Amino acid sequence: MENTVAMGTLDAEYKISLASIHPFLVTCAKLSEEETSSVNVPLLKRLRPNPCEGVKTRFVLEIVRLCEAMKERVLVFSQYLEPLSLIMDQLSKMFNWTEGKEILLMSGNVLVKNREALMVAFNDMKSDAKVMLASTKACCEGITLIGASRVVLLDVVWNPSVGRQAIGRAYRIGQEKIVYTYNLITEGTKEKDKYDRQARKDHMSKLLFSKESQTAGLNLSQEVIFDDKIMEAMTSHGKLKDMFVKILHSH
């Protein structure tokens, strides 16, 4: 009975995570009869090519657009492959980019020997790479992605170390740029509560195991936030600022 409840909870969280990124992704999940009857699948399939139909895919589109203009590279993480595939298709259509050139995909389906080539291409600032779409499970220790100066976390996960490990792919030895991280949370879902619990767990971990200075970290955070020109541009743009209900700063 407990296993059934646990599986049901995980299934619900999976569907919420997908829907919070883009409504089409709901069709990628196994729906119950009741859910199927309430979902307009043909309509959702028509929405698929348009990133602006999903608040998180819209954010990714705009930050990639702005980063390209500023010669910066974006690293997008998800624990699920469906959002990464969708975003790759959307970026390909919007910018006429191709996988393996401007868009790089690192997932568990990529052979280990080929991941090295992807790392080299992404970190080489002379290459055509613009964005790396990466699975959090595939990007474990040993993966270095210092070509990125912007890291986008599409999912809210229970374990804070998962997010830290993802961010750590860009924030490694050899990184000479400030790395900005965006943890996306969709209003009207349980993601905010999940994020708050994750933050409390992470804070408790720091209290127990870390000797870092909270005051020093706060000062650095304020300085970096002020210097985030891309976020400043997005939140002040008349057609983009409606995406944001609230911005939670952390360090």
The answer to whether residue 94 is domain-embedded is: yes
Q: How far apart are CA 129 and CA 146, in angstroms?
A: 13
Looking at the fold, whether 44 and 65 belong to one and the same domain comes out as no
Model pTM score: 0.85
Looking at the fold, whether 73 and 182 belong to one and the same domain comes out as yes
**Mean per-residue pLDDT of the chain:** 84
Looking at the fold, whether 41 and 130 belong to one and the same domain comes out as no
Tens-digit pLDDT profile for residues 92-126: 999 999 999 999 999 988 888 899 999 999 999 99
The answer to whether residue 220 is domain-embedded is: no
Which residues fall within 8 angstroms of residue 75, CB to CB, at 6 or more apart?
131, 132, 134, 145, 148, 150, 151, 152, 169, 170
The answer to whether residue 140 is domain-embedded is: yes
The answer to whether residue 23 is domain-embedded is: yes
The answer to whether residue 27 is domain-embedded is: yes
Q: pLDDT tier at 221 (50, 70, 90 boundaries)?
A: very low
For 87, the token pair is 């975003």
The answer to whether residue 204 is domain-embedded is: no
The answer to whether residue 212 is domain-embedded is: no
Mean pLDDT, rounded, for 220-241: 72
Q: What is the pLDDT of residue 9?
A: 62
- Pinpoint the alpha helices (H) of the chain: 2-21, 33-38, 41-47, 55-69, 81-95, 112-123, 160-168, 191-209, 214-226, 229-236
Looking at the fold, whether 128 and 152 belong to one and the same domain comes out as yes
Q: What are phi and psi of 220, to 5 degrees?
A: -65, -40
Which residues fall within 8 angstroms of residue 165, CB to CB, at 6 or more apart?
136, 139, 140, 141
**Domains held by the chain: number:** 2
Looking at the fold, whether 110 and 20 belong to one and the same domain comes out as no
Looking at the fold, whether 79 and 124 belong to one and the same domain comes out as yes
Q: What is the pLDDT of residue 77?
A: 96
Q: What is the dihedral of CA 45, 109, 103, 238, to 10 degrees?
A: 50
For 132, the token pair is 């790396």
Looking at the fold, whether 105 and 12 belong to one and the same domain comes out as no
Helix (H, G, I), strand (E, B) or coil at 64: helix
Q: pLDDT tier at 220 (50, 70, 90 boundaries)?
A: very low
Provide the CATH number for the domain around residue 82.
Answer: 3.40.50.300
Which residues fall within 8 angstroms of residue 146, CB to CB, at 6 or more apart?
123, 170, 172, 174, 175, 176, 177
Lowest mean pLDDT among 87-91, 160-164, 246-250: 246-250
Looking at the fold, whether 58 and 180 belong to one and the same domain comes out as yes
- Pinpoint the alpha helices (H) of 31-126: 33-38, 41-47, 55-69, 81-95, 112-123
Q: How far apart are CA 227 and CA 161, in angstroms?
A: 26
Q: How far apart are CA 56 and CA 115, in angstroms?
A: 26
Looking at the fold, whether 40 and 63 belong to one and the same domain comes out as no
Looking at the fold, whether 126 and 28 belong to one and the same domain comes out as no
Domain that holds residue 5: 1-48
Is residue 101 within 8 Å of 95, Cβ to Cβ? no
Looking at the fold, whether 26 and 67 belong to one and the same domain comes out as no
Helix (H, G, I), strand (E, B) or coil at 117: helix
